[in-house]
């Protein structure tokens, strides 16, 4: 009878923790998408590796201007990237005529110049309200789709508490590694911080003593 009582207690514990796991999963999936997007210094890092034949024109390598754009909405960047006139105005140092009142504004533009054979890492401050970024490489004669990258700022999920866990979401740093070739961007690698998995592990239970006690009772 003692063995059955101990086993019943063990199964009750497993059932309780399984319920907690399901509750935690529900909390995780129901996290609100409208999380805050504060300023963060150096939260966007881009490692650029330029091949020796960068921006090749008439058999000669050339420098390449890189633009890094930040926005609160993805459509803001999409409308720019598909519009050659707006892209040209960006490289000319002019504005893009976005609607700041409705959130359709480029929050920050950073400009860099890459030389053939150069490797460097850009540490870009993430502007307040930034949730999306884009990179445009100014290849000759004009940058097209093969010279553009658009990424969303990754979100990290974590929880506090155990019996009554509370899930939190926050923007995490974005890290990109980009290789620039003779005619365009050759490769892009994105490094995203992994989300913390729910801790629902069961405690170790030693039933050896229980079995021995039961045998003694018999």
User: Is residue 66 within 8 Å of 138, Cβ to Cβ?
Assistant: yes
User: Is residue 92 within 8 Å of 69, Cβ to Cβ?
Assistant: no
Closest Cα to residue 199, out of 56, 25, 65?
25
Token pair 């000759």 is found at 140
Continuous segment of H or E residues that includes residue 217: helix 208-217
* Mean pLDDT, residues 138-165 taken together: 92
Q: How far apart are CA 114 and CA 181, in angstroms?
A: 11
| In the chain, beta strands by DSSP E | 40-50, 64-71, 106-114, 119-126, 132-137, 148-152, 155-160, 166-171, 174-180, 185-191
In degrees, to the nearest 5, what angle opens at C-alpha 105 toward C-alphas 176 and 179? 20
* Total-model pTM: 0.72
Q: Where are the domains of the chain?
A: 1-30, 34-191
The yes-or-no verdict on residue 156 having pLDDT over 60 is yes
Position 74 scores a pLDDT of 96
In the structure, what pLDDT confidence band is assigned to residue 100 with cuts at 50, 70 and 90?
A: low
User: Is residue 46 packed enough to be buried (19+ CB in 10 Å), middle (13-18) or exposed (0-12)?
Assistant: buried
Determine which of 139-148, 177-186, 197-206 has the lowest per-residue pLDDT on average: 197-206
178 Cβ neighbours under 8 A, 6+ residues apart: 46, 47, 48, 49, 135, 149, 185, 187, 188, 189
Asked if CATH classification 3.20.20.70 holds for the domain at 34-191, the reply, yes or no, is no
Q: How far apart are CA 218 and CA 214, in angstroms?
A: 7
Buried-exposed string 122-131: b where 16+ CB fall within 10 A, e elsewhere:
bebebbebbb
Q: Is 192 left (phi over 0), alpha (psi -120 to 50) or beta?
A: beta
pLDDT digits (tens, 9 = 90+) for 73-95: 999 999 999 999 999 999 998 76
Specify the length of the chain in residues.
Answer: 218
């Amino acid at each position: 009878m003692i063995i059955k009582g101990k086993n019943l207690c063990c199964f009750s514990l497993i059932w309780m923790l399984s319920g907690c796991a399901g509750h935690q999963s529900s909390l995780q999936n129901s996290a609100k998408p409208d999380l805050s997007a504060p300023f963060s210094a150096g939260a966007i890092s881009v490692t650029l590796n330029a091949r020796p034949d960068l921006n090749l024109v008439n058999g000669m390598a050339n420098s390449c201007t890189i633009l890094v754009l930040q926005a609160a909405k993805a459509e803001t960047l999409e409308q720019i990237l598909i519009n050659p006139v707006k892209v040209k105005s960006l490289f000319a140092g002019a504005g893009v005529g976005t609607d700041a009142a409705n959130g359709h504004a480029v929050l920050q533009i950073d400009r860099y110049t890459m030389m053939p054979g150069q490797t460097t890492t850009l540490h870009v401050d993430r502007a307040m309200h930034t949730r999306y970024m884009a990179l445009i490489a100014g290849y000759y004669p004009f940058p097209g789709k093969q010279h553009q990258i658009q990424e969303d700022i990754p979100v990290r999920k974590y929880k506090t508490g155990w019996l009554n866990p509370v899930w939190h979401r926050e923007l995490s740093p974005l890290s990109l590694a980009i290789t620039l070739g003779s005619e365009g961007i050759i490769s892009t690698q994105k490094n995203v911080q992994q989300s913390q998995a729910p801790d629902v592990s069961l405690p170790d239970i030693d039933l050896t003593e229980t079995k021995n006690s039961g045998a003694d009772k018999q």
